[in-house]
Amino acid sequence: MFAKKTVIRMVVLLLVSVMCFAAVGCNNGTPAVTTDPATQNPASDGTTVADTTEADTTEADTTPAIDINTLPLKERFDVKDYEGTSIFFITGGDNDWWVNYDIIGPDNSGEILSEAIFNRNAEIEGAYNVVIKHEQRKHHEAFNQIKADAAAGDTNFDSFFCNGTQMRKLVNASLTANLNEIEAFNFDDPWWNDTVNETLNWGGKRRLVAMGDMNIMSWKTTACIMYNYTLGNKEGVENCFELVRSGKWTMDKWNQIMLNFSRDLDNNGTMDYQTDRYGLVTGNQTLEYSMNGMGETFVSVDAEGYPAVFSLNERMLNALEKVTKLYSKESCLNVHDASYSGGVSLNGQSAKLFSEGRFLFFAETIGGSFQLWNMQDDYGFLPFPKYDETQESYNSSIQSAQMSLVMIPRHATVRRDATADVINAMGYLNMRDVKDVFYDSVFGTRSVRDEDSMEMLEIILQDRTFDLGVAVDFGSIVTEMRKAVIAGNGNYASTYESYREAAETAFTKWVDNAKK
């Protein structure tokens, strides 16, 4: 199904190690890339001389091919001197685990990811002769700042790295520039996420936000499953890593493993999160993570190529039923459901509960693993399962609340060329250097250093989905569908029909604003 990658990673503060993801990317640099000599000397009739002329004794070119995506900035790009111009970024974020560090690292204590981001910025500033400035606000405060700047005609910020919720508001207020019209951006370049950006290229011409490797938070907010394999091995659980490799890691298989693993340890006839053994600890968001993993999204595309309300077809109904089984109280502890704990919310406790060693799986985002540094058991990473074995690949959802997207304000034109060059450089250097260090920050704990989990993490980040329907949630249709699934009442079709009209009305208005 896919070839196992052999990964050797080494953290060096000078960051001399490089990434070779997407080595077939666009050749925009000046160095020549060596090609097969047989294709370099066409004859006048269009045939290839090297294959048809026995007497040709020309020595083959043995010059090593150059991977242009490992080069210094000044060799990879046509670098301009911006004469000390300051480029101002604003990001949205929260406290604790969800501080945004797309622009500036998570702390100043020498932590490896901070060091890598600092070095990235230094290379950009030195190459382009710019100064990178950054301010973080709460998500809604950052949006309000951009809105106020537009109303006043000010350019206090050249770019806003926003989450999905603020993206909805930015588009609705017609505050976003069309990134397709910015010459420096080539969305075929390998540091852009082509899968996500294809869904954001509305009508084939309006791309108001985009996502790429410059969005570190969109790595961190990618959904995954953490698997306590110390516990799994002890209890004889089937090897989940091998299930992924064989293509047999499906939602039905996951549900079966969780149900078989769960036990009422005190034999009182009731599952109790404080004493019993569960297959899964998670929250409400695992609905969309699971649906996206099975290839379903809560958005569709209209005849013009613009977003529209999703259709509730047979496959989606079956997928919703599979997720309902996942939320069974016989095997799953949902920390957002207070009924488990006598009306007391367990929100925010899922990582702590998983680390105690009674839960086989923890469904969250990659960022959730940063809270497991004190866990005693060994754990690894798994992608969300497929719908069935015929599904071609594993898909990973990107959580919209804390993710980041590239947005350039429509009114911010003064430093736009420099801003675009800096954003491109961030994406390139993150792909070349910082992603390696991000992996090491995830695997920097004692409990996760195995090759299986590194392989799984690469699978998780390979094919990702940004579900626009979840981010906008017009008419609260996704919220209400989620309630129906978690309640287990099977009222999917009636819930959909109750909220469809309101969702369609809101979507139409939003798309009209996107076209302006």
Domain containing residue 213: CATH number: 3.40.190.10
User: Based on the domain organization, do 244 and 318 belong to the same domain?
Assistant: yes
Residue 349 lies in a domain: yes
- Residues spanned by the domain of 175: 71-220+401-450
Q: How far apart are CA 251 and CA 386, in angstroms?
A: 6
Q: How far is CA 167 from the centre of its chain?
A: 16
More confident residue, 5 or 206: 206
- Band of residue 8 on the pLDDT scale cut at 50, 70, 90: very low
302 with 373, same domain? yes
Q: Would you place residue 340 in the very low, low, confident or very high pLDDT band (cuts 50, 70, 90)?
A: low
Q: Tell me what the mean pLDDT of segment 436-443 comes to.
A: 85
Q: How far apart are CA 208 and CA 180, in angstroms?
A: 8
Give the Cα separation of 308 and 468 in Å (integer): 10
Q: Are 197 and 229 in contact (CB under 8 A)?
A: no
Residues 311 and 435 in one domain: no
Which whole number is the average pLDDT over 342-348? 73
Q: Helix 435-442 to helix 451-462 angle, to the nearest 10 degrees?
A: 130
Burial level of 77, CB count in 10 A (0-12/13-18/19+)? buried
pTM for the full predicted model? 0.85
Q: Is residue 399 scored above 50 in pLDDT?
A: yes
Q: Which of 32-36, 179-183, 198-202 has the lowest mean pLDDT?
A: 32-36
Nearest to 197 by CA among 180, 183, 182, 181: 180
The CA-CA-CA angle for residues 119, 185, 23, to 5°, reads 65
Note whether 417 and 275 are same-domain residues: no
Same domain membership, residue 303 and residue 192:
no
The torsion angles phi and psi of 265, rounded to 5 degrees, stand at: -65, -30
Distance, CA of 325 to CA of 331 (rounded, Å) = 9
* pLDDT value for 440: 84
Does the structure show a pLDDT above 60 at 242?
yes
Residue 32 inside a domain? The answer is: no
Sign of CA dihedral 152, 157, 159, 164: negative
| 399: phi then psi, degrees, rounded to nearest 5 | -65, 125
Beta pairing class for 223-228 and 359-365 = antiparallel
Which pLDDT value is given to residue 43? 37
- 353-378: average pLDDT: 92
Asked if 208 and 269 sit in the same domain, the reply is no
CA triple 352-355-356, angle to 5 deg: 95
Largest Cα separation within the chain, whole Å, is 88
* Span 253-279, average pLDDT: 93
CA distances to 93, 355, 458 from 101, rounded to whole Å, are: 9, 26, 21
Residues 271 and 351 in one domain: yes
**Do strands 359-365 and 278-282 pair parallel, antiparallel, or not at all (unpaired)?**
parallel
In which band, very low, low, confident or very high, does the pLDDT at 270 lie, cut at 50, 70 and 90? confident
Q: Which pLDDT score, from 0 to 100, does residue 54 have?
A: 47
Residue 53 in domain: no
CA distance 198 to 200: 5
Domain presence at residue 77: yes
Q: What is the DSSP letter of 303?
A: T
Percent of the chain with pLDDT over 90: 73
Average pLDDT on 45-71 reads 59
Q: Which two tokens stand for residue 289?
A: 């993570």
Assess whether pLDDT exceeds 70 at residue 27: no
- The CA dihedral of 211, 214, 218, 224, to the nearest 10 degrees, is 110
pLDDT, mean over the chain: 86
Are 378 and 405 members of one domain?
A: no
**Residue 17: its pLDDT value, please?**
36
363 DSSP β-pair partners: 225
Q: What pLDDT does residue 174 have?
A: 96
256, 12 Cβ separation under 8 angstroms: no
C-alpha–C-alpha distance, residues 287 and 487, integer Å: 12
Total domains, the chain: 2
**CA pair distance 179, 354, nearest whole angstrom:** 42
What is the predicted pLDDT for the residue at 465?
96
| Pick from 2-11, 50-59, 157-166, 499-508: least confident | 2-11
Q: Answer yes or no: do 296 and 376 share one domain.
A: yes
CA–CA distance, 397 with 293 (Å, rounded to integer): 7
Considering the domain architecture, whether residues 152 and 235 belong to the same structural domain is answered as no
Amino acid identity, position 284: N
Tell me: do 331 and 361 sit in the same domain: yes
**Shared domain check, 331 and 205:** no
